[in-house]
Protein backbone atom coordinates (compact mmCIF):
# COMPACT_ATOMS: atom_id res chain seq x y z
CA UNK A 1 0.00 0.00 0.00
CA UNK A 2 1.24 3.46 -0.89
CA UNK A 3 1.98 5.71 2.07
CA UNK A 4 3.83 8.93 2.79
CA UNK A 5 5.80 10.70 5.46
CA UNK A 6 4.76 14.32 5.98
CA UNK A 7 7.10 16.58 7.96
CA UNK A 8 5.83 19.58 9.88
CA UNK A 9 7.88 21.82 7.56
CA UNK A 10 5.71 20.62 4.65
CA UNK A 11 8.14 18.17 3.02
CA UNK A 12 6.63 14.88 1.82
CA UNK A 13 8.33 11.52 1.19
CA UNK A 14 6.41 8.84 -0.72
CA UNK A 15 6.95 5.15 -0.02
CA UNK A 16 5.16 1.92 0.90
CA UNK A 17 3.47 1.08 4.17
CA UNK A 18 4.39 -2.10 6.02
CA UNK A 19 3.70 -3.50 9.45
CA UNK A 20 0.49 -2.30 11.11
CA UNK A 21 -1.51 0.01 8.85
CA UNK A 22 -2.59 2.80 11.16
CA UNK A 23 -1.67 6.47 10.87
CA UNK A 24 0.94 7.60 13.39
CA UNK A 25 2.56 10.87 14.49
CA UNK A 26 5.77 11.40 16.43
CA UNK A 27 9.13 13.15 16.65
CA UNK A 28 11.28 12.23 13.64
CA UNK A 29 14.82 11.08 14.52
CA UNK A 30 17.51 8.88 12.98
CA UNK A 31 19.95 6.28 14.25
CA UNK A 32 23.18 5.18 12.58
CA UNK A 33 23.38 1.64 14.01
CA UNK A 34 23.91 -1.00 11.33
CA UNK A 35 22.60 -3.92 13.41
CA UNK A 36 20.38 -4.12 16.47
CA UNK A 37 17.15 -2.88 14.95
CA UNK A 38 15.08 -4.94 17.38
CA UNK A 39 16.89 -3.35 20.33
CA UNK A 40 16.10 0.04 18.76
CA UNK A 41 12.43 -0.89 18.38
CA UNK A 42 12.12 -1.95 22.03
CA UNK A 43 14.27 0.77 23.65
CA UNK A 44 11.95 2.87 25.88
CA UNK A 45 14.14 5.93 25.18
CA UNK A 46 12.57 6.00 21.69
CA UNK A 47 9.03 6.38 23.09
CA UNK A 48 7.11 8.95 21.07
CA UNK A 49 9.56 8.93 18.16
CA UNK A 50 9.46 7.86 14.53
CA UNK A 51 12.87 6.31 13.91
CA UNK A 52 14.74 6.41 10.60
CA UNK A 53 17.31 3.63 10.10
CA UNK A 54 20.25 4.99 8.09
CA UNK A 55 21.56 1.51 7.28
CA UNK A 56 19.71 0.56 4.06
CA UNK A 57 18.80 -3.13 4.58
CA UNK A 58 16.81 -3.93 7.70
CA UNK A 59 15.29 -7.22 8.84
CA UNK A 60 17.88 -9.57 7.35
CA UNK A 61 18.27 -11.64 10.54
CA UNK A 62 14.62 -11.36 11.56
CA UNK A 63 13.44 -10.94 15.14
CA UNK A 64 14.22 -13.08 18.18
CA UNK A 65 12.58 -12.75 21.58
CA UNK A 66 15.80 -12.83 23.64
CA UNK A 67 17.36 -9.51 22.67
CA UNK A 68 14.41 -7.22 23.39
CA UNK A 69 15.19 -4.27 25.67
CA UNK A 70 11.62 -4.04 27.01
CA UNK A 71 8.38 -5.96 26.78
CA UNK A 72 7.13 -4.38 23.55
CA UNK A 73 7.90 -2.03 20.65
CA UNK A 74 8.29 1.55 21.91
CA UNK A 75 8.73 3.58 18.71
CA UNK A 76 5.76 5.40 17.13
CA UNK A 77 6.87 4.57 13.60
CA UNK A 78 9.72 2.86 11.76
CA UNK A 79 11.27 4.07 8.48
CA UNK A 80 13.66 2.01 6.37
CA UNK A 81 15.03 1.93 2.84
CA UNK A 82 14.55 -1.79 2.15
CA UNK A 83 13.20 -4.72 4.16
CA UNK A 84 14.53 -8.26 3.94
CA UNK A 85 11.67 -10.47 2.85
CA UNK A 86 13.44 -13.71 3.75
CA UNK A 87 15.49 -13.30 6.96
CA UNK A 88 18.24 -15.85 7.40
CA UNK A 89 19.44 -16.57 10.95
CA UNK A 90 19.12 -19.59 13.23
CA UNK A 91 17.77 -17.36 16.03
CA UNK A 92 15.00 -15.85 13.90
CA UNK A 93 11.53 -16.44 15.38
CA UNK A 94 9.44 -13.90 13.45
CA UNK A 95 9.89 -11.46 10.56
CA UNK A 96 10.26 -7.74 11.12
CA UNK A 97 6.96 -6.95 9.42
CA UNK A 98 5.06 -9.56 11.42
CA UNK A 99 6.58 -8.18 14.62
CA UNK A 100 5.46 -4.64 13.76
CA UNK A 101 1.96 -5.90 12.98
CA UNK A 102 1.88 -7.80 16.27
CA UNK A 103 2.82 -4.63 18.16
CA UNK A 104 0.56 -2.33 16.10
CA UNK A 105 3.36 -0.10 14.80
CA UNK A 106 3.31 1.40 11.30
CA UNK A 107 6.37 1.26 9.09
CA UNK A 108 7.35 3.05 5.88
CA UNK A 109 9.84 1.64 3.36
CA UNK A 110 11.33 2.35 -0.07
CA UNK A 111 12.11 6.00 0.59
CA UNK A 112 15.45 7.82 0.36
CA UNK A 113 16.56 7.50 3.98
CA UNK A 114 19.91 9.18 3.23
CA UNK A 115 18.15 12.30 1.98
CA UNK A 116 15.76 12.25 4.93
CA UNK A 117 18.65 11.91 7.39
CA UNK A 118 20.44 14.88 5.84
CA UNK A 119 17.30 16.98 6.30
CA UNK A 120 17.13 16.05 9.98
CA UNK A 121 20.85 16.81 10.41
CA UNK A 122 20.51 20.19 8.67
CA UNK A 123 17.21 21.39 10.15
CA UNK A 124 16.85 19.38 13.35
CA UNK A 125 14.35 16.86 14.68
CA UNK A 126 10.72 17.70 13.99
CA UNK A 127 7.25 16.27 14.17
CA UNK A 128 6.12 14.01 11.33
CA UNK A 129 3.21 11.78 10.41
CA UNK A 130 3.11 8.50 8.46
CA UNK A 131 -0.21 8.16 6.66
CA UNK A 132 -2.00 6.56 3.72
CA UNK A 133 -4.47 9.45 3.52
CA UNK A 134 -4.44 12.78 1.73
CA UNK A 135 -4.50 15.30 4.56
CA UNK A 136 -5.49 18.96 4.39
CA UNK A 137 -3.34 21.64 6.02
CA UNK A 138 -5.97 21.99 8.74
CA UNK A 139 -5.93 18.24 9.44
CA UNK A 140 -2.13 18.22 9.56
CA UNK A 141 -2.13 21.19 11.91
CA UNK A 142 -4.52 19.40 14.26
CA UNK A 143 -2.45 16.19 14.17
CA UNK A 144 0.82 17.98 14.93
CA UNK A 145 -0.64 20.19 17.66
CA UNK A 146 -2.17 17.14 19.37
CA UNK A 147 1.20 15.39 19.74
CA UNK A 148 3.28 15.86 22.88
CA UNK A 149 5.99 13.69 24.41
CA UNK A 150 6.19 15.49 27.76
CA UNK A 151 4.72 12.53 29.67
CA UNK A 152 6.98 9.94 27.99
CA UNK A 153 8.56 8.67 31.22
CA UNK A 154 5.12 8.17 32.76
CA UNK A 155 4.24 5.96 29.78
CA UNK A 156 7.31 3.72 29.94
CA UNK A 157 8.23 3.39 33.63
CA UNK A 158 7.33 0.20 35.47
CA UNK A 159 4.28 0.16 37.74
CA UNK A 160 5.65 -2.07 40.52
CA UNK A 161 8.96 -2.82 42.25
CA UNK A 162 11.21 -5.47 40.71
CA UNK A 163 13.51 -7.40 43.08
CA UNK A 164 16.59 -9.28 41.92
CA UNK A 165 18.59 -11.03 44.63
CA UNK A 166 22.37 -10.69 44.82
CA UNK A 167 25.09 -10.94 47.43
CA UNK A 168 27.03 -7.74 46.72
CA UNK A 169 26.15 -4.04 46.45
CA UNK A 170 22.52 -3.00 46.96
CA UNK A 171 21.51 -0.89 43.96
CA UNK A 172 18.25 1.09 43.95
CA UNK A 173 17.38 1.72 40.29
CA UNK A 174 14.93 4.45 39.28
CA UNK A 175 13.23 3.28 36.09
CA UNK A 176 12.78 6.22 33.72
CA UNK A 177 12.56 3.76 30.81
CA UNK A 178 15.38 1.37 31.59
CA UNK A 179 16.73 -1.10 29.05
CA UNK A 180 16.78 -4.74 30.07
CA UNK A 181 20.50 -5.13 29.48
CA UNK A 182 21.36 -2.37 31.97
CA UNK A 183 19.63 -4.36 34.71
CA UNK A 184 21.42 -7.49 33.50
CA UNK A 185 24.76 -5.67 33.66
CA UNK A 186 24.30 -5.08 37.39
CA UNK A 187 22.85 -8.56 37.95
CA UNK A 188 25.81 -10.35 36.38
CA UNK A 189 28.04 -8.46 38.83
CA UNK A 190 25.95 -10.11 41.58
CA UNK A 191 24.37 -6.85 42.80
CA UNK A 192 21.22 -6.94 44.92
CA UNK A 193 18.76 -4.91 42.87
CA UNK A 194 15.49 -3.08 43.43
CA UNK A 195 13.98 -1.40 40.37
CA UNK A 196 11.55 1.35 41.40
CA UNK A 197 8.94 3.23 39.32
CA UNK A 198 10.03 6.72 38.22
CA UNK A 199 7.76 8.52 40.68
CA UNK A 200 8.73 6.59 43.82
CA UNK A 201 9.16 8.78 46.91
CA UNK A 202 12.36 9.28 48.89
CA UNK A 203 11.16 7.37 51.95
CA UNK A 204 10.33 4.21 50.00
CA UNK A 205 13.78 4.12 48.41
CA UNK A 206 15.60 4.77 51.68
CA UNK A 207 13.69 1.96 53.38
CA UNK A 208 15.67 -0.38 51.11
CA UNK A 209 18.86 1.30 52.42
CA UNK A 210 20.75 0.98 49.12
CA UNK A 211 24.48 1.32 48.70
CA UNK A 212 23.81 3.59 45.72
CA UNK A 213 21.00 5.15 43.71
CA UNK A 214 21.11 4.45 39.97
CA UNK A 215 19.28 6.78 37.57
CA UNK A 216 18.38 4.99 34.33
CA UNK A 217 18.09 6.03 30.72
CA UNK A 218 14.72 7.14 29.40
CA UNK A 219 12.88 9.32 26.88
CA UNK A 220 12.17 13.03 26.74
CA UNK A 221 13.26 16.26 28.38
CA UNK A 222 14.81 15.95 31.88
CA UNK A 223 13.14 19.24 32.84
CA UNK A 224 9.77 17.48 32.48
CA UNK A 225 10.69 15.47 35.61
CA UNK A 226 10.77 17.91 38.55
CA UNK A 227 9.82 15.13 41.00
CA UNK A 228 12.87 13.10 39.96
CA UNK A 229 15.14 16.13 40.27
CA UNK A 230 13.86 16.79 43.79
CA UNK A 231 14.35 13.14 44.73
CA UNK A 232 17.98 13.20 43.60
CA UNK A 233 18.58 16.43 45.53
CA UNK A 234 17.49 14.63 48.70
CA UNK A 235 19.68 11.57 48.04
CA UNK A 236 22.88 13.36 47.01
CA UNK A 237 25.24 13.56 49.97
CA UNK A 238 23.51 10.67 51.72
CA UNK A 239 24.11 7.92 49.16
CA UNK A 240 26.31 7.63 46.06
CA UNK A 241 24.41 8.53 42.88
CA UNK A 242 25.26 6.92 39.54
CA UNK A 243 23.43 7.23 36.23
CA UNK A 244 23.21 6.83 32.47
CA UNK A 245 21.76 9.06 29.73
CA UNK A 246 18.56 10.72 31.06
CA UNK A 247 19.80 9.86 34.55
CA UNK A 248 23.00 11.79 33.82
CA UNK A 249 20.96 14.85 32.83
CA UNK A 250 18.68 14.63 35.89
CA UNK A 251 21.68 14.39 38.22
CA UNK A 252 23.23 17.46 36.58
CA UNK A 253 20.03 19.48 37.06
CA UNK A 254 19.72 18.31 40.67
CA UNK A 255 23.19 19.71 41.42
CA UNK A 256 22.63 23.03 39.66
CA UNK A 257 23.84 22.23 36.14
CA UNK A 258 22.04 23.06 32.90
CA UNK A 259 20.63 21.00 30.01
CA UNK A 260 19.34 21.81 26.53
CA UNK A 261 17.77 20.10 23.54
CA UNK A 262 20.15 19.10 20.76
CA UNK A 263 19.46 19.86 17.12
CA UNK A 264 19.29 16.20 16.08
CA UNK A 265 20.72 14.31 19.05
CA UNK A 266 23.13 11.39 19.31
CA UNK A 267 21.63 8.07 18.22
CA UNK A 268 23.87 5.27 17.02
CA UNK A 269 26.58 2.78 17.90
CA UNK A 270 29.63 4.65 16.62
CA UNK A 271 30.17 7.76 18.76
CA UNK A 272 33.81 8.32 19.86
CA UNK A 273 34.10 9.27 23.53
CA UNK A 274 37.28 10.13 25.42
CA UNK A 275 37.68 8.98 29.03
CA UNK A 276 39.74 11.88 30.38
CA UNK A 277 41.08 10.10 33.47
CA UNK A 278 42.16 6.98 31.52
CA UNK A 279 43.25 9.09 28.52
CA UNK A 280 41.63 6.56 26.18
CA UNK A 281 39.10 6.82 23.39
CA UNK A 282 36.16 4.41 23.19
CA UNK A 283 33.41 3.87 20.62
CA UNK A 284 30.08 4.21 22.39
CA UNK A 285 26.39 3.47 21.93
CA UNK A 286 24.11 6.49 22.34
CA UNK A 287 20.45 7.48 22.21
CA UNK A 288 19.53 10.94 23.45
CA UNK A 289 18.10 14.23 22.22
CA UNK A 290 19.14 16.37 25.21
CA UNK A 291 22.55 17.10 26.72
CA UNK A 292 24.20 18.66 29.74
CA UNK A 293 25.46 22.08 28.66
CA UNK A 294 26.90 23.31 31.97
CA UNK A 295 28.47 21.18 34.68
CA UNK A 296 27.38 21.75 38.29
CA UNK A 297 29.80 23.54 40.61
CA UNK A 298 32.37 21.18 42.10
CA UNK A 299 31.82 18.59 39.37
CA UNK A 300 34.54 17.59 36.91
CA UNK A 301 34.26 16.45 33.31
CA UNK A 302 34.97 12.71 33.04
CA UNK A 303 34.13 12.02 29.37
CA UNK A 304 33.84 14.15 26.24
CA UNK A 305 32.33 13.44 22.81
CA UNK A 306 35.00 13.78 20.12
CA UNK A 307 32.51 14.58 17.36
CA UNK A 308 31.09 17.75 18.91
CA UNK A 309 32.92 18.17 22.26
CA UNK A 310 29.67 17.75 24.21
CA UNK A 311 29.70 16.57 27.83
CA UNK A 312 29.57 12.75 28.03
CA UNK A 313 30.23 12.19 31.72
CA UNK A 314 30.79 13.90 35.05
CA UNK A 315 32.12 13.11 38.54
CA UNK A 316 31.79 14.74 41.90
CA UNK A 317 34.17 12.87 44.19
CA UNK A 318 33.10 14.67 47.36
CA UNK A 319 29.38 13.94 46.87
CA UNK A 320 29.99 10.52 45.26
CA UNK A 321 28.20 11.27 42.00
CA UNK A 322 29.29 9.62 38.75
CA UNK A 323 27.19 9.67 35.57
CA UNK A 324 27.68 9.17 31.82
CA UNK A 325 25.64 10.22 28.82
CA UNK A 326 26.38 7.17 26.64
CA UNK A 327 25.08 3.59 27.08
CA UNK A 328 27.84 1.35 28.47
CA UNK A 329 25.61 -1.76 28.22
CA UNK A 330 25.69 -1.19 24.43
CA UNK A 331 22.46 -2.72 23.21
CA UNK A 332 22.92 -2.27 20.31
CA UNK A 333 26.52 -1.23 19.81
CA UNK A 334 30.14 -1.95 20.84
CA UNK A 335 30.69 -3.27 24.37
CA UNK A 336 34.03 -1.62 25.12
CA UNK A 337 32.55 0.93 27.56
CA UNK A 338 31.09 -1.78 29.84
CA UNK A 339 33.93 -0.98 32.26
CA UNK A 340 31.73 1.91 33.45
CA UNK A 341 29.66 -0.52 35.54
CA UNK A 342 32.83 -1.66 37.31
CA UNK A 343 33.85 1.99 37.81
CA UNK A 344 30.41 2.66 39.34
CA UNK A 345 30.82 -0.22 41.79
CA UNK A 346 34.42 0.71 42.63
CA UNK A 347 33.29 4.23 43.52
CA UNK A 348 30.64 2.76 45.85
CA UNK A 349 33.17 0.47 47.54
CA UNK A 350 35.70 3.26 47.99
CA UNK A 351 32.96 5.42 49.51
At 186 the pLDDT is: 98
User: What is the full DSSP assignment across 197-216?
Assistant: ETT--HHHHHHH--SEEEE-
Question: What does the alpha-carbon distance between residue 271 and residue 269 come to, in Å, rounded to a whole number?
Answer: 6
The band of 295, judged by pLDDT with boundaries at 50, 70 and 90, is very high
For residue range 163-190, what is the model confidence (pLDDT) as tens digits? 999 999 999 999 999 999 999 999 999 9
User: Which residues form the catalytic set?
Assistant: 245, 327, 329
Residue 351: pLDDT above 80? no
Cβ–Cβ under 8 Å, residues 79 and 116: yes
Per-residue three-class SS string for 267-320: EEEEEEEEECCCCEEEEEEEEEEEEEEECCCCCEEEEEECCCCCEEEEEECCCC
CB within 8 A of 306, min separation 6: which ones? 272, 273, 274, 281
Close Cβ partners of 317 (under 8 Å, ≥ 6 residues apart): 300
pLDDT digits (tens, 9 = 90+) for 263-273: 999 999 999 99
Per-residue pLDDT at 331 = 87
Helix (H) or strand (E) holding 231: helix 226-235
DSSP state of 27: E
- pLDDT for 224 equals 97
What pLDDT sits at residue 334?
Answer: 87
pLDDT of residue 133: 96
Residue 333's pLDDT is what? 87
pLDDT given for residue 68 in this prediction:
95
CA atoms of 225 and 241, how far apart (whole Å): 17
Task: Please give the model's pTM, rounded to 2 decimal places.
Answer: 0.96
Amino acid sequence: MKAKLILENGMIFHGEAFGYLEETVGELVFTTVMTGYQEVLTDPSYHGQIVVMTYPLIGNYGINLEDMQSDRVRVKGFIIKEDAKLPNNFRCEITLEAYLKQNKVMGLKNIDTRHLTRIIRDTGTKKAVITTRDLSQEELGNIFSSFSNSDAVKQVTRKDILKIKGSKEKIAIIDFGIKKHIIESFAKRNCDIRVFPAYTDYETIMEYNPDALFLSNGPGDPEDLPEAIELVKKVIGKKPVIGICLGHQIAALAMGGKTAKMRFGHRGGNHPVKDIEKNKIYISSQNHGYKVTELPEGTELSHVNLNDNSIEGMKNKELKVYTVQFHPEASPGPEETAYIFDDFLNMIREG
